């Protein structure tokens, strides 16, 4: 008999606004499953800045705060410092965390803030029209790189996780993916570890999640998952970085 999966208590039963095949909905559910399993629903506070997931609070049935574009870790730092008993996490896209929010990201990590970061890397700006993001791959076509990203013109894909791993304040970084059931299981384990680290006062933890954006990749959902496996993972290798 097939196993019946209960609807997470921390996940609202509402319709999604995300595009078909988008990874955000799956990442949202994994977070709520982990929150429920750890029994921290009444203590957790999520922070989501500008991006496709700016209205994540519509899906999570626990306390949340919005933040200005790129400022999620600054907001999370403030919340955690005045309410250290709470479990605070940020949920950020690549444009937010690794472009406009690079400064906040680097300095929060360098200070070793006791926070958990869930970093969605879909290699493109999804909310504003499919422009090139810091993580866009070389030769990848976007609305601002119609001929493909060129290293001489736009630079190389930014490996922000590897950069942050050099900082002594960072305690845990892992890159995972949503392209297969096996990888989804690993993603959930990494999310749980990042939150447990905070509960135990270990320090700054970040989980980078490779996630599909079929709409702006110009692919249907299944080929988008294959593109992560066959192409994106070569540029952003999976596994524990620190």
> pLDDT of 87-97, one tens digit each?
999 999 999 99
- What is the predicted pLDDT for the residue at 1? 40
Whether the Cβ atoms of residue 176 and residue 238 lie closer than 8 Å to each other: yes
Using 50, 70 and 90 to split pLDDT, how confident is the model at 4?
A: low
Q: Please give the CATH architecture assigned to the domain spanning 24-240.
A: 3-Layer(aba) Sandwich (3.40)
pLDDT over 90, % of the chain: 93
pTM value > 0.85: yes
State how far the alpha carbon of 152 is from the alpha carbons of 123, 131, 148, in Å. Answer: 18, 18, 12
The pLDDT assigned to 222 comes to: 97
Please tell me the predicted confidence (pLDDT) of residue 3.
53
Does the CA dihedral 190-195-196-197 come out positive or negative?
Answer: positive
Residue 130: pLDDT band by 50, 70, 90 thresholds?
A: confident
Residue 5 has pLDDT above 90, yes or no: no
- Spatial contact of 186 and 178, defined as CB atoms under 8 Å apart: no
Domain positions in the chain: 24-240
pLDDT of residue 126: 87
Q: How far apart are CA 116 and CA 203, in angstroms?
A: 8
Rounded CA separation 70/68 (Å): 6
Mean per-residue pLDDT over the chain, rounded: 95
- Residues composing the chain: 242
What does the pLDDT look like over 21-53, one tens digit per residue?
A: 999 999 999 999 999 999 999 999 999 999 898
Say which residue, 6 or 5, is predicted with more confidence: 6
pLDDT digits (tens, 9 = 90+) for 166-212: 999 999 999 999 999 999 999 999 999 999 999 999 999 999 999 99
């Amino acid at each position: 008999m097939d196993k019946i999966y209960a609807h997470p208590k921390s996940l609202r039963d509402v319709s999604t606004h995300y595009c078909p095949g988008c990874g955000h909905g799956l990442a949202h559910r994994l977070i709520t499953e982990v929150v429920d399993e750890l029994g921290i629903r009444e203590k957790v506070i999520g922070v989501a800045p500008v991006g496709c997931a700016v209205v994540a609070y519509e899906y999570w049935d626990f306390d949340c705060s919005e933040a200005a574009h790129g400022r999620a870790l600054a907001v999370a730092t403030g919340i955690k410092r005045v309410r250290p008993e709470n479990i605070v996490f940020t949920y950020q896209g690549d444009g937010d965390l690794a472009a406009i929010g690079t400064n906040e990201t680097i300095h929060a990590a360098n200070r070793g803030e006791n926070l958990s970061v869930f970093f969605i890397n879909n290699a493109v700006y999804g909310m504003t029209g499919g422009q090139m993001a810091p993580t866009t791959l070389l030769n990848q076509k976007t609305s601002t790189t119609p001929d493909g990203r060129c290293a001489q013109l736009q630079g190389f894909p930014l490996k922000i996780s590897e950069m942050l791993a050099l900082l002594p304040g960072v305690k845990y970084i892992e890159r995972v993916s949503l392209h297969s059931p096996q990888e989804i299981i690993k993603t959930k384990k990494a999310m749980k570890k990042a939150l447990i680290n905070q509960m135990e006062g270990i320090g700054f933890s970040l989980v980078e999640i490779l996630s599909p954006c079929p709409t702006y990749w110009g692919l249907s959902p299944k080929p988008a998952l294959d593109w992560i496996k066959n192409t994106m993972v070569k540029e952003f290798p999976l596994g524990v970085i620190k």
